[in-house]
């Protein structure tokens, strides 16, 4: 590094801010570290977003922050899932990551004209729309679906929550810590049930795979 760094000897400043990570016992190499946090600032200096995290090993990548706070598609080559009249483009915030990284996810849905798929809450007997990743390389996942619209179906005498047209969901996945460097497939399933005013098709479970490269962690700098 070509610029000076400040050292918080004895974690004095960390303790004054009340962010000392007490989960790390005294005497260990990482004792005295803070709980991590990030601030995202506008050009005028206003705080646009803030992240306070439970562990120094689990933090959003820069690409995930850009995805969440600035919208738009991410990734150079989204994976497209097509089933019946429903299509989804699934993008990762990065196709390369170290083990244990958290990656942003964007899913752009398109439902064919005249059809709808379901959101939550739903009565029994209907399949809500979801995208679920396999747990072979993922330890946790979340996907925030947009709010569906209530639609009254007179023939059913029910009001159901549905999605129509185009909409987008965003979230993230946390990769497992002990993945060895190499080529992987992030696998998952898109679940939905497609209906129109006259009929409902059987629930669908469309599988997909997203290529992902796990790279080695950068080695520490040599001691002077």
**pLDDT, greater one: 18 or 74:** 18
Using the predicted structure, report yes or no on whether residue 74 has a pLDDT greater than 60.
no
| pLDDT score at 206 | 97
| pLDDT score at 142 | 92
Range 200-206 contact pairs with CB under 8 angstroms and sequence separation of 24 or more: 201/84, 203/127, 204/83, 204/84, 204/86, 206/81, 206/82, 206/83
Q: What is the mean pLDDT of the chain?
A: 87
> Mean pLDDT throughout 136-157?
92
Using the predicted structure, report yes or no on whether residue 54 has a pLDDT greater than 70.
yes
- The percent of residues in the chain predicted with pLDDT above 70, rounded, is 89
Instruction: Give the predicted TM-score (pTM) of the model.
Output: 0.74
Q: Is CATH 2.60.40.1250 what the domain over 74-215 is classified as, yes or no?
A: yes
| pLDDT score at 35 | 85
| pLDDT score at 73 | 46
Say if CB 78 and CB 104 are below 8 A apart.
no
Using the predicted structure, report yes or no on whether residue 40 has a pLDDT greater than 90.
no
In whole angstroms, what is the distance from residue 194 CA to residue 118 CA?
A: 8
User: Which tens digits make up the pLDDT trace of 179-213?
Assistant: 999 999 999 999 999 999 888 899 999 999 999 99
Q: Which helix (H) or strand (E) holds 70?
A: helix 62-70
Of 20-29, 104-113, 124-133, the range with the lowest mean pLDDT is 20-29
> Mean pLDDT throughout 45-60?
74
| pLDDT score at 29 | 82
**Domain map of the chain by residue range?**
14-59, 74-215
**pLDDT, greater one: 162 or 22:** 162
């Amino acid at each position: 590094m070509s610029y000076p760094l400040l050292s918080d000897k004895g974690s004095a400043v960390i303790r004054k801010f009340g962010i000392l990570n007490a989960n790390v016992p005294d005497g260990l190499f990482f004792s005295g570290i803070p709980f991590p946090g990030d601030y995202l600032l506008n050009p005028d200096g206003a705080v646009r977003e803030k992240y306070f995290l439970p562990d120094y090993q689990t933090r959003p990548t820069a690409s995930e922050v850009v995805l969440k706070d600035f919208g738009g598609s991410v990734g150079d080559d989204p994976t497209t899932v097509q089933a019946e009249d429903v299509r989804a483009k699934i993008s990762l915030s990065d196709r390369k990551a170290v083990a244990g990284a958290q990656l942003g996810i964007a899913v752009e849905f398109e439902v064919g004209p005249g059809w709808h798929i379901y959101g939550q809450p739903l009565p029994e007997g209907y399949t809500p729309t979801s995208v679920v990743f396999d747990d072979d390389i993922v330890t946790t996942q979340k996907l925030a679906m947009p709010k569906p619209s209530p639609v009254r179906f007179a023939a059913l005498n029910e009001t159901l929550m549905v999605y129509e047209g185009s909409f987008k969901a965003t979230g993230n996945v946390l990769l497992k810590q002990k993945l060895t460097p190499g080529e992987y497939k992030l696998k998952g399933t898109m679940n939905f049930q497609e209906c129109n005013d006259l009929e409902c098709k059987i629930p669908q479970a469309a599988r997909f795979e997203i290529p992902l490269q796990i790279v080695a962690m950068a080695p520490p700098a040599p001691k002077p």
